[in-house]
Amino acid sequence: MNEQVLVLNANFQPINVTSMYRAVNLMLTEKATLVLNGRGVIRSVSQTFPIPSVIRLNRMVKFPRPVVKLNRKEVFRRDHFVCQYCGKQTSDLPIDHVIPRHLGGKTRWGNVVSACGRCNHLKGGLTPEQSGMHPIKRPKRPPNTAAYLFGKHLNQQQDWENFLLGW
C-alpha cells in the first residue's frame, strides 16, 4: 500500500503523487477513475480491485501552480550532481554561493550552485571575478513543469513518462 500513484486532473494534467491507499479510496468513492493499472490486483474476501499506477480525477480541480522549493536536494538535482566549476560528477557536493554571503550574496536560485569540495575551497569567499572561477551554467530557478516536478519518480515508475512529458 506504499506504492506511489500519479494523480491527473480531469484534463489529464499531472497534479500530484499520492499513495496507493489514497488512490484506491478516491476510486471507491467515485472521485477518480483508473487510467493505468500495470501492477496487478488487490483481493479482498468478496471483491478484486486493480492496483492503480495512474488515476484521473472526475472533476476539474483548481490549484496553485507548484514551485520548486530552494533546498540542497533540489540544487543538486538542478545541477545533476555536477560541480559547476570543474564539471566533476559526484554525490558528495557542498553548496556554494556564487556571490558569497559576507559580500551581500543572497541564498536564491540565481546565486547558489553545487561545487565539489576542492573547487569550493579554492573559490573560498571570493567573487567569481576575484577567483577566476565562473559557473559552467548560469544558475537559475528550475522549471515548474510536470516533467521536472514529478520526474524524480520516473526511475521507479517508467509507465508515467507519457503523462508527464506532454505537460
pLDDT digits (tens, 9 = 90+) for 82-141: 999 999 998 889 999 999 999 999 999 999 999 999 999 999 999 999 999 999 999 999
| Per-residue cell: 13 | 494534467
Report the pLDDT value the prediction gives residue 166, as an integer from 0 to 100: 66
Of 162 and 129, the structure prediction assigns the larger pLDDT to 129
Question: Is the pLDDT at 8 greater than 80, yes or no?
Answer: yes
Residue 167's pLDDT band (boundaries 50, 70, 90)?
low
Maximum CA pair distance of the chain?
73
> H or E segment at 96?
strand 95-97
Report the pLDDT value the prediction gives residue 1, as an integer from 0 to 100: 63
Degrees, nearest 5: CA angle 160-163-167: 135
| Per-residue cell: 3 | 506504492
Predicted confidence (pLDDT) per residue in 25-62, tens digit = 999 999 999 998 867 888 888 888 888 999 999 999 99
The residue with cell 556571490 is: 99
Task: List domains and CATH numbers for the chain.
Answer: 4-65+144-165 (no CATH), 72-131 (1.10.30.50)
pTM for the whole structure: 0.74
**What type of residue sits at position 148?**
Y
